[in-house]
């Protein structure tokens, strides 16, 4: 849906008439907004959504760009769960082949492009890994940012482990502590969690334990209203870091308690990803299972 279609959709489902919406203005004002004959001001949109009792975030989920991204996320997840499924693979490759990497491309498309390359270059010959020129462009783009939004974190979460030590440090210091984390939406928080996970596990593979702890501290520095699952991920990474630093079994037990909790909650795929990650780090395996967010 475009904005006008979404307004019509919500108004009809609320059984409201046009004259019931912007009660402080002539009925024709809202009529022109809904038919696209008047530019919609943000103040008007917030007033309309207040009348609908619909949060802005929920309203945005019905807009065309959001719906297309939902379709992409679903397809990406299908392929991630079963990379050998020919039908899903064909559809995702069709989308992928329409993308041409550029620093000027829409950040959503860049995040999708990077997610496909980072994950599926491990499974499909049709997808090449990110090359150095692309990584240089991504690094420069992220370093220009003063504030990271959802797709900035999506890009960062799927690339931070590919940069050199100096670049990782520069990006980590820019991304942490997360600004305004208490008001970030669910999708953004997921990418933030993935970014922190990939940052910390990358440092752990380099045996930079003290630095890992310092970034974990930064990850909670401004967290007055951190979500429960965010706290759990930070606690898991803290236990993993402390186990590698001290060798104390109590930390190891807490790590596997977290994995068991995920399984009991029905998060089988997530639990398996974490378990593979832990075993890889503990065994110092060179086969690195990077944690990729399936819901881009």
pLDDT tens digits for 36-74? 888 899 999 999 999 888 888 888 877 767 778 889 999
The alpha carbon of residue 100 and the mean position of all alpha carbons in its chain are separated, in whole angstroms, by 21
pLDDT at 295 over 80: no
The band of 76, judged by pLDDT with boundaries at 50, 70 and 90, is very high
Phi, psi at 196, each rounded to 5°: -65, -45
pLDDT value of position 140: 96
pLDDT at 145 over 70: yes
> What pTM did the predictor assign?
0.79
Topology of the domain comprising 64-282: 1.25.40
Q: Are 73 and 294 a contacting pair, CB within 8 Å?
A: yes
Angle between helices 132-143 and 150-157 (to 10 degrees): 140
pLDDT value of position 185: 78
pLDDT value of position 294: 45
Q: Where in the chain is the domain with CATH 1.10.260.40?
A: 3-60
Q: What is the mean pLDDT of the chain?
A: 90
- Residue 278 makes CB contacts below 8 A (sequence gap 6+) with 240, 255, 256, 259
208-223, pLDDT tens digit by residue? 999 999 999 999 886 6
Spatial distance between the Cα atoms of 282 and 19, rounded to a whole number of angstroms: 65
Q: Is the dihedral of CA 16, 21, 25, 27 positive or negative?
A: negative
Highest-pLDDT range among 178-182, 188-192, 201-205, 219-223:
201-205
Domain 3-60: give its CATH superfamily. Answer: lambda repressor-like DNA-binding domains (1.10.260.40)
249-288, pLDDT tens digit by residue? 999 999 999 999 999 999 888 898 899 999 999 887 655 5
Provide mean pLDDT across the span 139-145. Answer: 95
The band of 2, judged by pLDDT with boundaries at 50, 70 and 90, is confident
pLDDT value of position 232: 93
Least confident interval from 21-35, 137-151, 154-168, 227-241: 21-35
Provide mean pLDDT across the span 131-153. Answer: 94
Spatial distance between the Cα atoms of 83 and 80, rounded to a whole number of angstroms: 6
pLDDT at 245 over 90: yes
- SS3 annotation, the chain: CCHHHHHHHHHHHCCCCHHHCCCCCCHHHHHHHHCCCCCCCHHHHHHHHHHHCCCHHHHHCCCHHHHHHHHHHHHHHHHHHCCCCHHHHHHHHHHHCCCCCCCCCCHHHHHHHHHHHHHHCCCCCCCCCCCHHHHHHHHHHHHCCCCCCHHHHHHHHCCHHHCCHHHHHHHHHHHCCCCCHHHCCHHHHHHHHHHHHHHHHHHHHCCCHHHHHHHHHHHCCCCCCCCHHHHHHHHHHHHHHHHHHHCCHHHHHHHHHHHHHHHHCCCHHHHHHHHHHHHHHHCCCCCCCCCCCCCC
Spatial distance between the Cα atoms of 207 and 281, rounded to a whole number of angstroms: 10
pLDDT value of position 181: 86
Spatial distance between the Cα atoms of 144 and 166, rounded to a whole number of angstroms: 16
Q: Where in the chain is the domain with CATH 1.25.40.400?
A: 64-282
pLDDT value of position 286: 58
């Amino acid at each position: 849906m475009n904005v006008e279609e979404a307004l019509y959709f919500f108004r009809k489902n609320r059984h409201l008439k046009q004259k019931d919406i912007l009660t402080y203005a002539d009925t024709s004002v809202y009529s022109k907004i809904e038919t696209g004959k008047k530019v919609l001001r943000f103040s008007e949109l917030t007033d309309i959504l207040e009348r609908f009792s619909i949060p802005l975030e929920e309203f945005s989920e019905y807009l065309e760009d959001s719906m297309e991204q939902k379709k992409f996320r679903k397809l990406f997840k299908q392929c991630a769960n079963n990379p050998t499924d020919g039908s899903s693979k064909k559809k995702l490759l069709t989308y992928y082949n329409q993308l041409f990497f550029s620093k000027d491309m829409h950040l959503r498309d860049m995040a999708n492009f990077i997610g496909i390359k980072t994950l599926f270059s491990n499974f499909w010959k049709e997808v090449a890994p990110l090359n150095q020129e692309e990584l240089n462009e991504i690094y420069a783009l992220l370093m220009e940012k003063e504030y990271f939004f959802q797709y900035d974190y999506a890009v960062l979460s799927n690339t931070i482990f590919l940069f050199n030590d100096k670049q990782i440090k520069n990006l980590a210091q820019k991304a942490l502590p997360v600004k305004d984390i208490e008001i970030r939406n669910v999708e953004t928080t997921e990418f933030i969690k993935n970014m922190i996970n990939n940052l910390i596990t990358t440092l752990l593979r380099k045996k930079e334990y003290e630095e890992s702890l310092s970034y974990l501290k930064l990850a909670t520095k401004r967290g007055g209203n951190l979500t429960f699952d965010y706290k759990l991920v930070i606690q898991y990474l803290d236990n993993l870091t402390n186990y590698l630093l001290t060798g104390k079994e109590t930390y190891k037990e807490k790590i596997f308690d977290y994995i068991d909790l995920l399984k009991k909650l029905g998060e089988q795929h997530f639990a398996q990803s974490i378990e593979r990650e832990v075993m890889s780090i503990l065994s110092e395996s060179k086969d690195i299972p990077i944690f990729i967010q399936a819901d881009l």
